[in-house]
Structure 1
C-alpha cells in the first residue's frame, strides 16, 4: 500500500494524514465489533485521524444519537491517546433533531458547552483534537439545496459569540483546534475576520462535500480557504455510493440510498447517472475501478488536507483505504476535467 502523506491543518502544528476514517455508520449499519476492527485496521495502516459527531449514527434518529461517539470512545480508552486524532462536531439548529438538547435551539455558548461535555463523556477522553460546527446556524443553502433564499432569514447566534464560546473550550484544554463544516465563502471570511479582529481562535478547517459529481468547492472556496489558511476535509468522496458504479447496473443495489431513499437528495438530479457512466468508462480505459478513480481524484487535489472515507464493514474498508491512495496521472486528470466540463457539478 502506498504511503500516506501528512498536512498541517490551517497552517497550525496539528498535522493530519491525508486519509481520515469517518464513523457515521457506527451504531447503525456497522456493529461495534466491526467498527472496532475498522479502527484497528486503519490505525495499523497509518490512519490515526477519525471523524465523528454527536448526532451520529446516520440517518439521524433518537435511538442512535451519540452511538458513533460511544463506540469510538470504548475503543479509544484502550489506545495511547496522543497517538490518535479525534474530530467531532456540535449539531446546530435548522434541522429536525428534537432529541438533541431539545432542538438544539441555537449554536450559543450553553449549547456548545453542553455538546462538548456530552461528546467528551461518550468519547471517554479529556479533549478532542478538532471540534467542528456541523453546519451553520444561519440561513444558507446546504445538503442538496443550491439557491440562497433571503426570505428564509431567521434569528441566529452571532458568529463572534460562537467563536467566543469555542475560545473558552480551547483555553480550558478541552479542544485543541476548531473548524466548521458545510460552510460557504461568506462564513469562512466572517469566522476568519472576527477571529483576527478579536483575538479569538482561527478556524483551521472546513468539512465539505467534494467528489467527482460535486466540485462546487473549487469555484467558491478554493481561493478563500487558501488565503485564509483553512484546510478542506473532504467528505462523501464516493457520492453516497454512486461513484462505486453499483447503481449504474442495479438502481436497487443495497446501500444507504436504497435503504433510506430520502437520504441523498442531491444525487437525484438528472445528470448524475450519465456523469457516473462517463467516469466509469474513463476508469475502465485506464485499468481502474470507478472507486479507485473517485477516491484517488479527491486525495490528489492540492487543496484537500484529508479525504474522509467511510465503510459499513471491515471488508469494504479493505477496498476503500487502498483505493484512496490511487495515483492520478495528468492524462487521467485531463479526462476527468473533460467530463466535468460536459457534466458540471450534477449533484451540488
Structure 2
C-alpha cells in the first residue's frame, strides 16, 4: 500500500480509504468490524464516515455508522489511524439532524463535531469535512447552476472561523470539503490565505470512469493550490462492476432504494458502462478492476474511497491496488470518455 500526505500538510493516508456508508443499513456491526479489521490488516489506515451515515439517511439509523466505527476504534491504536467524518449542511430535508439542519453556522458545526466525537469514542477527528455546501449550487445529480435558486447562507468566512476554533481546541486536526465546485474551493483557499484560517487539504467528490467532471476545473485548482481529491463512488454505485449489465435487478443500493442515486439515471450511463466492461474483459480484467485502477492512477487522487457490503467485494476492491493499466488501455478509456462524456455528473 502507498501512503500520501493530503494537501500541503494534511494527514498521511493510505491510497485506499475504507468507505462506511453501508454500516448500519446493509451491514451489521459485526460485519462492519470484520471489514475494518480486514482493511487495516492490508495497510489501510484511512476510514471515512459521516454523521448522516448510513445511507439512504433515515431518522432510525442516522449516526449508526459512526457508532459502529467508534466501538471498533476504542480497541485500536488511535494514533495509527486517520478518521474522517463530515457535518451535514442544509438544503436537504433531514429533520432528524439538528432540526434541519438550518445552517452551516458556528452552532451547528460545533454541535455536529461534539456528536461525532461522542459516537466515534475519540478525542479528536483527523479530517473534518463539510459534507456539501450551504449555498445554492448543483449537486447529487443536478447538472447546472440555477441563479433563481439563490438563498441566504452562512458566509464561507464564518464557516472557516468556526472550524478554526475547533482546530485550536484540538477537536479537529485538518479541514476538508465535499461535493464542492471551483468557486467554493477558491473562496475557502482565498480566505484561509488572507485571514490565516485553516487551509483545506482535500476535496471529497464523486469521480469515476462515468464522472470525470473533476478534471475540467477542480484538477487545476488541486494542482496549483495543493489540494488532494478523495474520490468517492469510483464504481458508480456498483454500475462499473458490470453487475447491472448482467442482471438489472441485481441487489445493490440502486435496486434496494428506488430514486436513490439520481446521477446514475442519465440516458448514456448504461452504454458507457457496457463499453468499459467490454474494454476490461478484452484486456483480461474485471470491469471493477479497470474502474478502480483508473481512479488509482490519476495524479490528483490522494485516496480512493472504496466500500463493500460483502467481504468478497472488499477483497476484490482492495486487490485492485495491484492492477496497473498500460498506455493502450488508458488511450482506449479516453476514447470511450470522448464518446460518452460524463454520463453521470
- Of the three residues 229, 233, 236, the one matched with 1:232 is 229
Residue 192 of structure 1: aligned partner: 189
| Alignment partner of 1:44 is 2:32 | no
Residue 248 of structure 2: aligned partner: 251
Cα distance change on mapping 1:88 and 1:341 into 2, 3 Å: same
CA distance in 2, matches of 1:100, 1:330: 47
Residue 329 of structure 1: aligned partner: 326
Residue correspondence of structure 1 range 1-348 to structure 2 within 5 A: 4-348=1-345
Judge which range, 150-159 or 324-333, deviates more.
324-333
Q: Alpha-carbon deviation of 1:315?
A: 2.5
RMSD of the alignment, in Å? 0.7
CA distance in 1, matches of 2:317, 2:226: 29
- CA deviation map 1:280-305 (0-9, x unaligned): 11101110000000011001100000
Cα distance change on mapping 1:281 and 1:291 into 2, 3 Å: same
Q: Which runs of 5+ in 1 are unaligned?
A: none
* Mapped contact 1:188–1:225 kept (Cα < 8 A): no
- CA deviation map 1:244-303 (0-9, x unaligned): 001112111111100112111111111111101110111011100000000110011000
CA distance in 2, matches of 1:325, 1:258: 30
CA distance in 1, matches of 2:214, 2:272: 18
CA distance in 2, matches of 1:252, 1:218: 32
* Mapped contact 1:35–1:314 kept (Cα < 8 A): no
* Mapped contact 2:11–2:82 kept (Cα < 8 A): no
Cα distance change on mapping 1:206 and 1:45 into 2, 3 Å: same
Q: Which runs of 4+ in 1 moved over 2 A?
A: none
Q: Alpha-carbon deviation of 1:13?
A: 4.9
CA distance in 2, matches of 1:267, 1:54: 24
* Mapped contact 1:299–1:325 kept (Cα < 8 A): no
Q: Which runs of 5+ in 2 are unaligned?
A: none
Q: Alpha-carbon deviation of 1:222?
A: 0.3
If the length of structure 2 is used for normalisation, what is the TM-score?
0.99
May I ask how many residue pairs the two structures share in their alignment? 345
* Mapped contact 2:10–2:174 kept (Cα < 8 A): no
Q: Alpha-carbon deviation of 1:324?
A: 3.9
CA distance in 1, matches of 2:274, 2:182: 31
CA distance in 2, matches of 1:287, 1:21: 26
